[in-house]
Amino acid sequence: METTLTPHVYWAQRHGDIYLRVELSDAKNLDICVQDNTLQFKAQGHGAKGDNDYEFSLDFLEPVKPEVSHRSTQRLVNVTVRKQEQRWWDRLTLQERKPLFLAPDFDRWLDESDAEMELQAKEEEKINKVSIESRIPYLGLKKGYLFMYNLVQFLGFSWIFVNMTVRLFILGQDSFYDTFHTIADMMYFCQMMAVAEVINPLVGLVKTGVFPAMIQVVGRNVILFVIFGSLEEMQNKAVVFFVFYLWSTIEIFRYPFYMLACIDTDWKLLTWLRYSIWMPLYPLGVLAEAIAVIQSLPIFDETRLYSIPLPTVLGSSFSFSFTLKIYLVLMFLGQLVPLSDPPP
């Protein structure tokens, strides 16, 4: 009489599934089915008794669905059976005494409370996924807007940087003194666009503070519109070249960094350049801005531009240059605070 060979079988359960791991390597001619709530398994492979035909059957404790899924590897066969009802079983088989070939699969074993926690976590994950999917149109518009903003700013500052570099090589030091007249229009455009860097965190489009972005944008616009834009005497000075060149050098690395971040792309060289170049160029830019302010003080005193008339008892007027001197002090005090680079 031929003896039936059975492989080693390990099992585990969840509220909705039964997992079986059959220790049978190089399995072939698999025949796995559920009939009358009994799992029938037959296959050829290498098991505990060498290369042979192996089979076993399991009468389940409670009803299961007839569909069976399985996946075989070189070392084993994984079988999954779905329960008719999502509930926890006290044991696997109808008979109280488990078969000798059957043992718990401790790699996948969970007790009932742990399985309930796992099931709850999966439900929460599904809810979160639905929530995220419902926000995809908003996220798409948000990323598209931020990407285009950073792209436009990158192109604008790249034009400034390339234009000034070419003029420097062709004209040498002479290019220092007409920088404003050749570059100002594009710089006006870029710095007016930069106001969005204050609005973006204000409305929650980016997770950064409003205050750091406001300091940078307002500071630059004071230099550009008040110091350079309103004083013709300042527009022909070399300091304009250095301010514009330092600003554009910083931004041709900063804006593409944030542009790529919008599409979840990290270019390590760009990341290194962005953070490395920022450190020396930011204080140099502040120094150039301070020199511009200092050079403008006697001009504001002489022209009385933006000065506020006062009653005779208090004096003739409140000079705007006094406001700029306070601004200078605040500018240098700001250098004592750790550097931050507010993203758009």
Task: Give the residue from 52, 41, 44 showing the smallest Cα distance to 9.
Answer: 41
Cα separation values, 70 from 20, 35, 56, 87, 328, Å:
9, 16, 15, 22, 74
Q: What's the number of CA atoms in the CB half-sphere (13 Å) around residue 56? A: 22
CA-CA distance, 57 to 99, in Å (whole number)?
10
CA-CA distance, 208 to 182, in Å (whole number)?
34
In one-letter notation, the amino acid at residue 153 is: Q
* Alpha helix positions (H), 194-267: 196-202, 210-221, 239-261
- Catalytic hit among 188, 282, 306, 327: 282
* Residue 282 a catalytic site member: yes
In one-letter notation, the amino acid at residue 92 is: L
Task: Give the residue from 179, 145, 181 showing the smallest Cα distance to 248.
Answer: 179
Task: Give the residue from 119, 107, 111, 117 showing the smallest Cα distance to 11.
Answer: 107
* Residue 258 a catalytic site member: no
CA-CA distance, 109 to 126, in Å (whole number)?
23
- Catalytic hit among 23, 197, 251, 289: 289
Cα separation values, 286 from 32, 142, 180, 247, Å:
75, 32, 18, 10
Cα separation values, 42 from 4, 21, 32, 54, 121, Å:
11, 14, 6, 6, 36
Cβ proximity of 13 and 24 under 8 Å: no
Name residue, tokens 């003896």.
Answer: 3
Q: Which residues are catalytic?
A: 282, 289
